Amino acid sequence: MRSFFQDFERSGYDGSIIRCKMHDIVHDFAQFLSKNECFNAKVDNEEPRLEYSSKVRHSMIQFKSSVSFPRAFGDKLRSLLIDIRPYNKIDGIHVSKLLDELTCLRALDVSKFSLKGLPRGIEKLIHLRYLNLSRTNLKELPEALCDLYNLQTLDLTSCEELRILPQGIAKLLKLRHLINNYTYLMHLPKADVGKVYKAELHNKKNLIGLNLVFYENHNEEALDSFQPPPNLEKFRIENYVGNLMPPNWIAMVSLTKLRELRLNCWLNCKHLPPLGKLLFLETLIIESLRSVKIVSNEFLGIESEDATSSSSSSVVVFPKLQTLEFQFMDNWEEWSYSTPTRGEHIDIIIMPCLRSLKIWFCRNLRILPSYIEACENVGDI
């Protein structure tokens, strides 16, 4: 509102802001205010010499080639972010010695380093709130990591060789974000991904995002017993091999905060579950359900018996859905809709808030249902 930030670019997926610009005057003013506290440098020579002021609190170092790592930083640093250009590696990092000096750090980003293990002394960073270890070669995390009792965010994205978390991870009571995209952890404390019902996820009241990826063929029992966390906002189920949606799917209907749902690679499922009953859903992405040939009223959750049993003269299906995507549905031939005919007349309103519809690589689909053609607010189709 004050024009500090301008030209917002939003994600077509969920509408969130992914990029913006800062006004030139605001940028210059910010640099003027922070010139003694922030230090940024680009290093592209063999022996970098970085002059630090005792007032520096935040630093970002960008390495443009394979060079030696600086041996000294300001001992009062609060934030250290190190940017390594793609395909360049830094050898001979004296990280242990570095940690001895940086005991005041609140944020540390050592992503893309060729680290195979965290150095000794990591437990000395007791003030650390943010730790980014993404895209490293870590094979394990030391138990000493669990002594960082102020840690709030731990980023393990694309740590391809990492499989387990330390046993004491539950000691991190302030941890809010554990980011492990493309890092395939085999198990979590008190949880077995192959047997979801043992994870007691329904007791995790602070869990707002969940991604279930199955690697076994016996996962129907796991999903049958699944009780979702009550405050779940984003949910993804991947590699489910059952033929039908488990009977307790109705438990999902009670999730009043669920905004985003993704179903990915359900290779044997022939029919979509009654997703229209998710009253608060805003984003739905269905990908690689390759056994589905027909999508009809069961997708909306308004089969004849359901519609005629309503005590109201109108039924709203997908009342808050804004974004709908179908991808790689190779055998999908028909998307149909038929008005329930039993009982008294009931007005059925379908997807009144839909703004974006995307259908990718569904080569056998020919016709859209009438309720999609009637959506006047769809700006992206």
CB 289 within 8 A of CB 272: yes
| 331's tokens | 């055998």
Pick 109 or 71 by higher pLDDT. 109
Taking only Cα atoms into account, the Rg of the chain, rounded to an integer number of angstroms, comes to: 26
Q: What is the pLDDT of residue 113?
A: 75
CATH architecture of 36-189: Alpha-Beta Horseshoe (3.80)
Q: What is the pLDDT of residue 308?
A: 47
Domain ranges of the chain: 1-35, 36-189
pTM more than 0.75:
no
Helix (H, G, I), strand (E, B) or coil at 260: strand
pLDDT per residue over 256-302, tens digit each? 889 999 999 988 888 888 898 888 999 999 999 989 999 999 899 88
CA distance 229 to 203: 6
Residue 368 and residue 335: Cα distance in Å, rounded?
A: 6
C-alpha span between 63 and 112 (Å, rounded): 11
Q: Which of 38, 96, 104, 87 is nearest to 69 (CA)?
A: 96
Band (pLDDT 50/70/90 cuts) for residue 94 is: low
Q: Read off φ and ψ for residue 373, nearest 5 degrees.
A: -65, -25
Instruction: Compute the average pLDDT of residues 203-229.
Output: 70
Among the listed residues 254, 284, 282, 286, the one whose alpha carbon sits nearest the alpha carbon of residue 269: 286
Greater model confidence, 162 or 377 = 162
* pLDDT single digits (tens) 16-44: 788 999 988 888 998 888 888 888 877 77
* Chain segment 153-211, per-residue pLDDT in tens: 999 998 888 888 888 888 898 998 888 888 877 655 444 444 464 556 777 787 888 88
